Structure 1
Amino acid sequence: MTKAALEHYHARMQRVLDHIDRHPDTDLRLDVLSGIAAFSKHHFHRQFTATFGLSVHRYVQLVRLKRASYHLAFRETDTVTGVAMDAGYEAPDAFARAFRQRVGQSPSAFRKTPDWAPWHAAFAPLTHARSKHMTTHSFNDVTVRDFPATPVALMEHKGDPARVYETVQRFIAWRRAAGLGRDAAATFTVFHSDPRATPPEDFRLDVCASTDRPIAPNAAGVEAGLIPAGRCAVLRVIGGAEDLEAPALFLYRDWLPASGEEVRDFPLFCQRITLYPDVPEQETVTDLFLPLV
């Protein structure tokens, strides 16, 4: 197979992933998905499994259950029954069985006290499948611009990266109570540590919301902070908001040496422009900032 033919084949398969990710609540039967790829329905199942390492049925189920888990953990106004219906289950008990089988907790238990370690393991096949044919970045994707000094409310996470979402949950609850929802304040993450080179117990990042209000003493541990003004290399990342290691590596390994720029004494950080599940996971937009001298 020529390179062009292989790329065309992979593009047809990628169309299927994109369709599932954007429309998880629609009809995703085998004949529908094979038509999107323009492959015979008699062979498509084996082609999908061979390409992505898991079956069509499992991929669809994982996409739906992952979205459901986000609603359970971060959307306290969504009922478990409503989440089950939205995930394509006609009865809450069928949803509960499927959720427990994949995540290891009932939907109600997960909502109350999520166990994030088995959650990460359960949905790792999704990340693996999507990384098969990842979009690569080029130097033209990077711009250099002046970032304005931005006061923020921040909550520090220190410890195992697998437990970051526990911190995120607490921060979201504080934001709601403080009237700093995503419509009112920009969302940032400051990465003080590289998870590949830092022992889990020493890993650190800050989750932040922009605000110039004074931060009153609070039990959540939220403090006032500042993302300083300065020049930054900016790489816009579409999709893959949960794992920014590959685009960060591109900035450090490829772009920075070729640019002739020098880094400034402030950590890598990002702004979450759009967030999952507000938009489909592959349509999330994240601006990754590398501070420069």
Structure 2
Amino acid sequence: MTTALQYYHDRMKRALDHIDRHLDDQLDLEAVSAVAAFSKFHFHRQFTAIFGLSVHRYVQLSRMKRASFRLAYRDDQTVIQIAMDAGYDAPDAFARAFRQRFGQSPSSFRKSPDWEPWLAAFGPLTDARSKLMQQTFNASDVTIQEVSPIPVAIMEHRGPPAKVGETIQQFIAWRKANGLSPRTSETFNVFHCDPRTTDPSDYRLDLCAGTERTFDADDQGVVSGIIPGGRCAVLRIVGNTDDLEPAALYLYRDWLPKSGEEARDFPLYCQRVSFFPEVPEHEAVADLFLPLK
């Protein structure tokens, strides 16, 4: 990539970062173009040419994505509050727009989200962000650490990856009921299989909360367990922590064969260090752990 093109892309990324950080503010064409130091008379065409979405559409989708996460995972906010934060002056207008995109009312989505229309609706936003915000990795990004055993409470998800959101909802509710907030209890995911090569009905993922308390299997299936200690290759992902497959691919395809290391008999797992929508999406952080012998 030429220096001029890199500089151009960096300016565009500044615009995306600004949008992420200021979803509650006025985000018109003039404000966003100024952050990237582009002329407002051309920026709408430049932005659309790179990302396939207009600035207005990109902002709309970003606000709606944050709103949908808050509806599904943050029951401390009312639908009216979420509607206002998404830029709607009236909850009725928000409800119409939400139903048009997802086929559910906000209240219905909060109770029982249908994630397949959700994934389809945000496909253009995901594609736009991947144009310039895909993190790349090199060997210096990987550290080898000696990790202590981690006692955890585990809720297993078994079934289609598209349904993981439902299990996350249940786990959040369980954590709240048991006083295991992410503020005081670390959050881990253990990936037992590769979603690209596993039959959806056999897909398995463990949602874990760090705790030394013990739990017998309750009516929600939460049990106690341990993430074993030992040497791990650790790779930090900043930004799109919804999709850790590129980072996993780097570890398995590029780093591991060249490292001289051998993978240990425990699955790949991650620690969710910070979460969207608590932080802007480009500031979400996850650490990916590849257990080593």
The TM tier, using the shorter chain, reads over 0.9
RMSD (CA atoms)? 1.0
Cα separation, 2, equivalents of 1:53 and 1:223: 45
- Cα offset, 1:95, TM superposition: 1.0
TM alignment of 1:1-293, pairs within 5 A:
3-133=2-132, 134-293=134-293
Q: Which amino acid aligns with 1:25?
A: D
Q: Which amino acid aligns with 1:103?
A: F
Q: Contact 2:116/2:162 (CA < 8 Å) preserved in 1?
A: yes
Cα separation, 1, equivalents of 2:86 and 2:24: 7
Moved more, 164-173 or 40-49: 40-49
Deviation string, structure 1 residues 110-148 (Cα, Å, up to 9, x no partner): 111110111111112222111112231111111000111
Cα separation, 1, equivalents of 2:3 and 2:184: 46
Deviation string, structure 1 residues 48-87 (Cα, Å, up to 9, x no partner): 1110111111110111011111111111121000101111
Deviation string, structure 1 residues 176-207 (Cα, Å, up to 9, x no partner): 11111112210000000111111111111100
- Cα offset, 1:217, TM superposition: 4.1
- Cα offset, 1:216, TM superposition: 4.1
Cα separation, 2, equivalents of 1:205 and 1:144: 24
Q: Which amino acid aligns with 1:226?
A: I
Q: Which runs of 5+ in 2 are unaligned?
A: none
Cα separation, 2, equivalents of 1:102 and 1:283: 26
Percent identical across equivalent pairs?
63
Cα separation, 2, equivalents of 1:233 and 1:78: 38
Deviation string, structure 1 residues 34-55 (Cα, Å, up to 9, x no partner): 1111111111111111101111
Q: Which amino acid aligns with 1:120?
A: L
Q: Contact 2:239/2:282 (CA < 8 Å) preserved in 1?
A: yes
Moved more, 90-99 or 243-252: 90-99
Q: Which runs of 5+ in 1 are unaligned?
A: none
- Cα offset, 1:4, TM superposition: 1.0
Q: Which amino acid aligns with 1:137?
A: F
Q: Which amino acid aligns with 1:271?
A: Q
Q: Which amino acid aligns with 2:225?
A: G
Residue 187 to residue 19, structure 1, CA distance change in 2 (3 Å): same
Q: Which amino acid aligns with 1:246?
A: P
- Cα offset, 1:253, TM superposition: 0.8
Q: Which amino acid aligns with 2:205?
A: L
Cα separation, 2, equivalents of 1:217 and 1:158: 16
Cα separation, 2, equivalents of 1:125 and 1:290: 31
SS at match of 1:290: strand
Cα separation, 1, equivalents of 2:163 and 2:231: 32
SS at match of 2:122: helix
- Cα offset, 1:151, TM superposition: 1.0
Alignment: residue pair count: 292
Deviation string, structure 1 residues 229-257 (Cα, Å, up to 9, x no partner): 11000001111110000011111111111
